[in-house]
Structure formats: structure tokens, C-alpha cells
Amino acid sequence: MLEHFFQCPYCWEQISMLLDRSVSETYIEDCEICCNPMQITTVFEQNELVNFEVNNIEQ
């Protein structure tokens, strides 16, 4: 597991998240501060994070 820090696209608070190094994926998760949904995309190559994106989801 990898701990990754980023800013919420809604409230701009810093959040930490544990990422599974064995899986590249796109999924939806709520911000732990403001509870708005974020689309998170992770890409790992040889257990190294090569791309991380977080986007707001228009409601």
C-alpha cells in the first residue's frame, strides 16, 4: 500500500488515501471532509505510481 496526499477538488482540504500498488483503477469516493464525490484514477507501473488524477463530479 502507498499513502498518497492530494487536495479535494471541492473543499481544497488535504486528504490522504491508501492506494493498492497492484491495481490501476478508476473509481468514485467521497471526500472525508466535505462528503462530495470525487472520481479518482490511479495508474501504477512496476508498483510505482505514474499517474494520479482526482476530479469533481458534477451533480
Query: Is the distance from CB of 16 to CB of 9 less than 8 angstroms?
Result: no
Tell me how far apart the alpha carbons of residues 22 and 47 are, in angstroms, rounded to a whole number. Answer: 6
pLDDT of residue 59: 60
pLDDT of residue 20: 93
At 9-57, the pLDDT tens digits run 999 999 999 999 999 999 999 999 999 999 999 999 999 999 999 999 9
pLDDT of residue 58: 75
Domain count across the chain = 1
Nearest alpha-carbon partner for 8 in 42, 43, 41, 34: 34
Note down the domain range covering 13: 2-56
DSSP states of 1-59 as a string? -EEEEEE-TTT--EEEEEE-TT--EEEEEE-TTT--EEEEEEEEETTEEEEEEEEE---
